[in-house]
């Protein structure tokens, strides 16, 4: 049978329609594989919680764009406590110590997002320690680049800690400083909690200093202006700090420092300039009061000779430490403090122990110190370099240096006063300083209307 062209086209069209009608329609869809993002709002990691504490978290589903969270769960130590994003947690029902909080969110596709944090319950806050305290000096290297530095601190368990190279801790509202503060407070559950202060506006991970203290920090001043004996500026490489600590009703001044690094001649000169400026600060601002001078001086000690000398190739110079220990020295003595007589705590207690504080295999040197002035030169009990744990090698390129000090014989009382000179014009500083020095003893003893008269007179120069 022979079909015409029109018939063939008609039959073909019918076949195509029939075949198409028998093929099921295929709709392409994309499966939601994106889990919700869960963020804990309160508490935060390592926070210390007590009493009734509000737990709050949020969850966001970004796939699809108008994603909906179907279900929430909140667990404390793997026990389901709520199916909402908020929960009032009575921590008194739990033992003091570490606890885990887990927040979970499910979307429509049953994708699961979660976050777990560790916090510390502490409903038995301990009081500050006694007149005997342990102070720690620790350069944590590049703002704590190696996590083991925290293990060194935990092994040391200091009452007061001065940390060097904390430049990244002051970023974003001092986030890192607060994180470490809470972590240590959670770890040292049976001790009084630390409070902390830090130098700010630092540029590098190797700049900055911080202080953690179980005693109240009455005052904290970032020292960004110093002068030499001839009144020319002595700008610091890394701003030191000056803190006033209330140790059981006694006022102790602590100056934390990181002098200019390294062994070039211009670097040695910069260290000497900085130390000269600090000596003037000690005399003019702190005056006759108990003082602990602590930190990384990047300077050798003139007492470290013979077997104590270390690597002769690490020529950091002796200027700054000589100014502190030997005011009669023919070269550096002229720059020494006129008020304070300093003692090197470690070397006094360990006359034959090198005590190298640099943790660098190719360099053996002692450049990290704890100095005390005449008020405390018979008050120290012990001092060590390193925590004595495996973490010393791993934690930093410096070893920790500690000292135990007993101030029970110190009779000075706490006097609240402002240690900042930032608001004082430079042209008037000398006049004000001389006036403060001449009246300080009398003013602190009397604390009468005469003091108000002095303050009024000083304010005219502001």
Answer yes or no: is 174 within a domain: yes
Q: 391 pLDDT band (50/70/90 cuts)?
A: very high
Q: Are residues 104 and 246 in the same domain?
A: no
Alpha-carbon Rg for the chain, nearest whole angstrom, is 32
Answer yes or no: is 419 within a domain: no
Answer yes or no: is 445 within a domain: yes
Q: Are residues 262 and 387 in the same domain?
A: yes
- Between 75 and 422, residue with greater pLDDT: 75
Q: Are residues 291 and 385 in the same domain?
A: yes
CATH of the domain at 111: 2.60.40.10
CA distances from 420 to 14, 70, 213, 424 (A): 97, 56, 20, 9
Answer yes or no: is 412 within a domain: no
Which residue intervals of 222-304 are DSSP H helices?
265-281
Answer yes or no: is 446 within a domain: yes
CATH of the domain at 328: 3.60.10.10
Q: Are residues 185 and 260 in the same domain?
A: yes
CA separation for the pair 161, 370 (Å, rounded): 11
Q: Name the domain boundary from 63, 94, 121.
A: 121
Q: Name the domain boundary from 87, 121, 155.
A: 121
CA distances from 211 to 208, 290, 376, 416 (A): 11, 17, 20, 19
Q: What is the pLDDT of residue 3?
A: 47
pLDDT at 453 over 50: no
Q: Are residues 59 and 162 in the same domain?
A: no
Question: What letter does residue 360 receive in the DSSP assignment?
Answer: B
Q: Are residues 208 and 157 in the same domain?
A: yes
Q: Are residues 293 and 165 in the same domain?
A: yes
CA separation for the pair 438, 461 (Å, rounded): 17
Q: What is the pLDDT of residue 65?
A: 63
Q: Are residues 265 and 353 in the same domain?
A: yes
E strands, 151-192, are 160-164
E strands, 112-215, are 112-121, 132-139, 160-164, 195-198, 209-213
Answer yes or no: is 87 within a domain: yes
Q: What is the pLDDT of residue 311?
A: 86
Q: In this predicted model, what pLDDT tens digit does every residue of 216-228 receive, in sequence order?
A: 999 999 999 999 9
To the nearest 10 degrees (0 to 180), the angle between helices 171-187 and 149-156 is 50
Mean pLDDT to the nearest integer, 451-458: 41
Mean pLDDT to the nearest integer, 49-61: 92
Q: What is the pLDDT of residue 13?
A: 52
Q: What is the pLDDT of residue 388?
A: 97
Q: Are residues 179 and 58 in the same domain?
A: no
Q: Are residues 100 and 202 in the same domain?
A: no
Answer yes or no: is 402 within a domain: yes
For 56-91, the three-class secondary structure string (H helix, E strand, C coil) is EEEEECCCCCCCCEEEEEEEECCEEEECCCEEEEEH
pLDDT at 456 over 90: no
pLDDT at 372 over 60: yes
ω into 64 cis (within 30 of 0): yes
SS3 333: helix
Domain range enclosing 100:
37-121
Structural domains counted in the chain: 3
The phi and psi torsions of 330 (rounded to 5 degrees) equal -65, -25
SS3 100: strand
Answer yes or no: is 18 within a domain: no
Q: Are residues 327 and 242 in the same domain?
A: yes
Q: In this predicted model, what pLDDT tens digit does every residue of 149-200 receive, in sequence order?
A: 999 999 999 999 999 999 999 988 899 999 999 999 999 998 999 999 999 9
| Predicted model pTM | 0.78
Q: How many CB atoms lie within 10 A of CB 427?
A: 8
Q: Name the domain boundary from 121, 154, 186.
A: 121
Q: Are residues 352 and 292 in the same domain?
A: yes
């Amino acid at each position: 049978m022979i079909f015409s062209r029109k018939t063939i086209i008609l039959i073909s069209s019918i076949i195509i329609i029939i075949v198409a009608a028998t093929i099921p329609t295929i709709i392409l869809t994309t499966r939601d594989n994106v889990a919700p993002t869960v963020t804990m709002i309160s508490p935060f990691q390592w926070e210390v919680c007590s009493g009734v504490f509000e737990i709050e978290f949020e969850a966001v589903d970004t796939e699809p764009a108008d994603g909906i969270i179907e279900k929430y769960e909140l667990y404390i130590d793997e026990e389901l406590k709520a199916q909402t994003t908020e929960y009032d947690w009575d921590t008194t029902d739990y033992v003091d110590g570490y606890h885990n909080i887990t927040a979970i969110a499910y979307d429509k596709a049953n994708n699961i997002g979660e976050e777990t944090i560790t916090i510390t319950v502490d409903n038995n806050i301990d009081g500050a320690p006694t007149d005997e305290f342990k102070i720690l000096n620790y350069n944590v290297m590049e703002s704590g680049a190696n996590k083991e530095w925290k293990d060194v601190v935990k092994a040391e368990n200091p009452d007061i800690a001065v940390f060097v190279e904390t430049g990244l801790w002051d970023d974003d509202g001092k986030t890192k400083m607060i994180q470490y503060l809470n972590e240590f407070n959670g770890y040292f559950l049976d001790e009084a909690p630390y409070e902390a202060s830090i130098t700010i506006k630092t540029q590098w991970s190797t700049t900055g200093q911080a202080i953690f203290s179980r005693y109240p920090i009455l005052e904290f001043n970032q020292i960004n202006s110093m002068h030499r004996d001839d009144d020319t500026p002595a700008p610091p490489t890394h701003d030191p700090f000056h803190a006033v600590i209330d140790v059981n009703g006694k006022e102790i001044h602590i100056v934390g420092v990181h002098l200019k690094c390294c062994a070039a001649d211009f670097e040695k000169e910069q260290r000497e300039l900085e130390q000269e400026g600090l000596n003037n600060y000690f005399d003019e601002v702190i005056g006759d009061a108990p003082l602990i001078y602590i930190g990384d001086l990047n300077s050798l000690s003139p007492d470290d000779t013979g077997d104590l000398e270390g690597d002769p190739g690490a020529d950091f110079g002796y200027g700054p430490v000589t100014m502190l220990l030997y005011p009669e020295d023919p070269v550096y003595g002229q720059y020494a403090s006129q008020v304070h007589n300093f003692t090197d705590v470690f070397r006094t207690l360990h006359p034959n122990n090198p005590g190298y504080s640099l943790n660098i295999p190719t360099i053996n040197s002692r450049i990290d110190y704890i100095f005390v002035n005449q008020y405390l030169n018979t008050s120290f009990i012990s001092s060590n370099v390193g925590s004595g744990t495996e973490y010393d090698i791993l934690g930093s390129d410096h070893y920790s240096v500690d000292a135990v000090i007993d101030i029970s014989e110190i009779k000075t009382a706490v006097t609240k006063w402002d240690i900042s000179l930032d608001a004082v014009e430079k042209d008037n500083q000398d006049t004000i300083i001389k006036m403060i020095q001449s009246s300080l003893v009398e003013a602190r003893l009397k604390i009468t209307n005469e003091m108000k008269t002095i303050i009024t007179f000083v304010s005219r120069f502001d």
